Chain A
Amino acid sequence: MRVTFCTDLDKNVVVANCEKRGWIQVGPEDDWNIYWAGTLTCRSLFSVDSGYRMNDNQIINHFPNHYEISRKDLLVKNIKRYRRDLEKEGNVLAERGDSKYLHLDFIPVTFVLPADYNMFVEEYRKAPQSTWIMKPCGRSQGSGIFLINKLSKLKRWSREANKNPLQPQLAKESYVISRYIDNPLLIGGKKFDLRLYVLVTSFRPLKAYQFRLGFCRFCTVKYDSSVAELDNMYVHLTNVSVQKHGEEYNALHGGKLSVQNLRLHLESTRGKEVTERLFDQISWLIIHSLKAVQPVIATDRHCFECYGYDIIIDNKLKPWLIEVNASPSLTSTTANDRILKHKLLDNIFNIVVPPSGYPDVRWNKIVSTEALGDFELLIDEDILNHGNHDDTASLDRHSNRSANFYRWK
């Protein structure tokens, strides 16, 4: 039986990968096995009105309510609830010290505005000198983001947003306000963030894989936390869509340094131990961000999803989760980008399609070592629960640090 695929994205990397496998492209009305869809298409497909029912040989690249993790406000809400629940259970993971969570303190302090305004003000007063970053919940690619360091500025913004008769939606738009990481790790004097890819093939039980390749996105301008530069987004935002418009943008490298090279630099300058700890902490925060949404994501055997994780590392080598994208960009800005994204898609298909080569949701979704490619197994609750982790060599990474491994549980 030939595999058929369908996509509503005009992305060559998707089509090229499918065609390379000998899959046949069909329209959405036809009998497709694999749908690589935009989030909107996906949502309407799952909506009650559509009446579409998938059969056992159909898979699709989003979960119906992925926004539980990809919307900035919902992610924060879910993580806060997750911590509270663990705390109620008396779980050691939710241990606190100095009022902060010791192990689950991986997102900057965040509030949703206007809803949590009073809570924000209370927090703000604790450290009135600090800088906060405002982000519209529903937008992406750095649009609508600004920094504030005075409460008055926030008030002025809120007045103006309410006043604007031409854009009444602006008033309703909700924002998250987060403590700004003003001590980011700098390389060559410049700020960067990490873009990592995580594939989830199931939320209950949780099965997640982390892509070993990824990149750092650099600001083109030297980092400067002074007030004068507060409004200069080229200093603060690493989004390629922002940086691209800067004078200093270089299209040959696109401001992107590979994660392997970041690792080499950190190991060389700071040592192996702290570098390993950093990368372990990154895996840790990814796993717990997924566990935080695990109970609320509508689980559906037809779904898999690839998330783009945005992480900022501070100068104490602590990683902070900034946000999660459910449709990470597949556009390539440079030659290496193209190679990376091609590999990413190839490896995703290797994992989501069973060894038979034909999509089948009844498959137990336990992936052989060979099929992992550049993905590493982050967590598979099936394997954890059955204790038969011998057959997955990818857990090897943690075998010499078994203590680390067991904390995944």
Chain B
Amino acid sequence: MEEIKDKSIHHTALRLCEDLKQNPTYKGLYTDVQKLVSSSNVKYEDFKESLSKSMKENGLEAELRNNVYHWVRSQNKDNLCYASFDSFFKKAQIQWEKRIHKSLNSMCSELGIHLARIRFTQDREELIEKWGELSNYDVDINKYRPVYSPKDFLEVLLNLKGPNYKHRGEEPTWDFSHIPIKVKDLSELRTLYSELSHGEAVMGMNTSRYMSSSYAAFEAERIALGERVVLSNHAPVAQEYLKKGCPPCLRKKMWTLVLGSEVKETHYHYYEKLKTHVLQYDLMVDKLIIKDIHLTASNDDQYFVFEDVLHQILLCFSRDAEILKQLSNKPGYMQVVLKGKPSTPENTLIFPPSGVIPFHGFTMYAAPFCYLFDDSVALYFTVRAFYLRYWFRLHRVCGHSQGILCLCLLFERLLQCYDPVLWHHFKKIHIPPIRVVFKWIMRAFSGHLPPEQLLYLWDLVLAYDSLEAIPLLAVVILIFRRDNLLRVTTLQNIEAVLADLSSIAVMSMLQMALSKE
């Protein structure tokens, strides 16, 4: 037994080493270690001990540990719990992608444009000139429309007919109860979010009218602790720290640490390459991105100031082939031949290189990060890391416990369980509750909660490495407003009751829901 275990550790270590060598930052790390080895601190006689001691001292050990941590986290991405459903979901996702691609193609033929072409020189020059103020980049996007909206996607999800599906007469699909996936119940959530359920002091409780002096003292204490965490440079410690919410002044550092998205020189070069690609190729998806920013962030009083930088990073995002490579279940992608070129491999490109087709509201996956970063490159890599770890599952059909489907199910079961009266009210007025909250869940509340509160919610996403706080918050908000909801009977009025979330205090509401009576 021991032997097998030893062996498996040995194998893991080998794989780990192989993978680390592929990492873009490996070279720098290796050079740093080499430098250390040649210093006088490392003794030939006592090589192992003295090396590890000096690595500890100059922080290389923490860096190496973080690399292992990120590697381990990237390994268990694919643990799909429902193998029997796996193929079903895969098929459904393929169909959904086909629909999206078809819709892209028909929009192109309608508008008489091509998916991809070499950018005209004049256009390229304008882009270069206006790179810092792309909101003024002159391009006609009037005729473009979002490929799909959260509502369309919900329709797709509701129409999934799993292997256990039974036709239920004329009634349209009302909920996800026919998808037999187990999701957590409240007591399991309490175990997961144990720090919150114990009712310990957390950040973000200062929403009462006055900033009480006790909160100020608590915040000062958290900042002092947080500064030590940042100094230690240990990613798992940072993750643990986030469980009680992060003071805004440390969030940028904490998040990049947990996500491993610190930027080095190589990242700047990489980003520059993405930009070059944007300048070189005129892709139809560019207009979709610009259109989406115009429809969302540009009109939003929380985010309009960041519209220019959002243009930059989202255009670059579409060109990032690493995204397609890193997504565990590669999305289906299109191969497109550049307009007016012979169909040869060098004239063919993956459309878009990232494989991600934006939908209405996609910008909101990135917008809140603008509050944290002044530097667009640092902003880009944290947005990308967050997307690759969490957001991508919010707009695809999959059975993953962190996928949109499971989050919807979790929402429904919690609501059904904890407020059956409200649930029946929805049933009586023929409005599926998921319809009301789906946009919150699909956007992880971005654009719905004020940024300050939203960032606390996302602290928890990172801290517990789970999106389950999102449907939980949706349930709590409904229950919080139940008296008003019970009084209205139309979708319009329900939406009116839930339209303004500016008074929601995320941390206290979640804490309330998770603590035992």
- Minimal beta-carbon separation of A251 from chain B (angstroms): 9
A275: which B residues are within 8 A, CB to CB?
249
Q: Which residues between 197 and 225 of chain B lie within 8 Å of chain A, taking CB atoms? A: 209-213, 216-217, 220, 223
Chain A window 249-273, contacts with chain B (Cβ cutoff 8 Å), 1 for yes, 0 for no = 0101111111011001101110110
B174 proximal to A (CB < 8 A): no
B217 and A400 contact, CB distance less than 8 A: yes
A267: which B residues are within 8 A, CB to CB?
247-249
A250 and B132 contact, CB distance less than 8 A: no
B306 proximal to A (CB < 8 A): yes
Provide the bound-state CA to CA distance between A252 and B247, in Å.
30
A168 proximal to B (CB < 8 A): no
A396/B213 contact (C-beta < 8 A), A187-B305, A272-B248 known: yes
Contact of B136 among A248, A257, A272, A374 (CB under 8 A): A248
Chain A window 222-249, contacts with chain B (Cβ cutoff 8 Å), 1 for yes, 0 for no = 1000000000000000000000000010
- Minimal beta-carbon separation of A217 from chain B (angstroms): 11
Provide the bound-state CA to CA distance between A190 and B309, in Å.
12
A261 and B249 contact, CB distance less than 8 A: no
- Minimal beta-carbon separation of B205 from chain A (angstroms): 16
- Closest A residue by C-beta to B217: A400
Contact of A257 among B133, B220, B301, B308 (CB under 8 A): B301
A222 and B247 contact, CB distance less than 8 A: no
B304 and A189 contact, CB distance less than 8 A: no
Number of A-B contacts (CB under 8 A): 90
B432 proximal to A (CB < 8 A): no
- Minimal beta-carbon separation of B227 from chain A (angstroms): 11
> Which bracket fits the contact residues of B?
35 or more
B109-117, B334-342, B367-375 - interface stretch: B367-375
- Closest B residue by C-beta to A336: B301
B298 proximal to A (CB < 8 A): yes
- Minimal beta-carbon separation of A116 from chain B (angstroms): 37
B252 proximal to A (CB < 8 A): yes
Chain A window 385-400, contacts with chain B (Cβ cutoff 8 Å), 1 for yes, 0 for no = 0000000011011011
A218 proximal to B (CB < 8 A): yes
B495 proximal to A (CB < 8 A): no
- Minimal beta-carbon separation of B167 from chain A (angstroms): 45
A165 proximal to B (CB < 8 A): no
- Minimal beta-carbon separation of B477 from chain A (angstroms): 19
B308 and A188 contact, CB distance less than 8 A: yes
- Minimal beta-carbon separation of B109 from chain A (angstroms): 32
B132 and A189 contact, CB distance less than 8 A: yes
B452 proximal to A (CB < 8 A): yes
Of A187, A272, A393, most B-chain CB atoms within 10 Å = A272
- Minimal beta-carbon separation of B367 from chain A (angstroms): 12
A260 and B452 contact, CB distance less than 8 A: yes
A142 proximal to B (CB < 8 A): no
B173 proximal to A (CB < 8 A): no
A174 proximal to B (CB < 8 A): no
A188 and B305 contact, CB distance less than 8 A: yes
Q: Which residues between 102 and 127 of chain B lie within 8 Å of chain A, taking CB atoms? A: none
Provide the bound-state CA to CA distance between A265 and B300, in Å.
16
What are 23 of the A-B contact pairs (CB < 8 Å)? A188-B305, A188-B308, A221-B136, A222-B133, A248-B135, A248-B136, A253-B300, A254-B301, A257-B302, A261-B450, A261-B452, A264-B248, A264-B451, A267-B249, A268-B252, A268-B371, A269-B374, A373-B209, A374-B209, A400-B213, A400-B216, A400-B217, A400-B220
- Other A-B contacts than A255-B304, A269-B252, 9 sampled, CB-CB below 8 A, are A221-B136, A222-B308, A250-B298, A260-B450, A261-B302, A268-B249, A269-B373, A272-B248, A396-B213
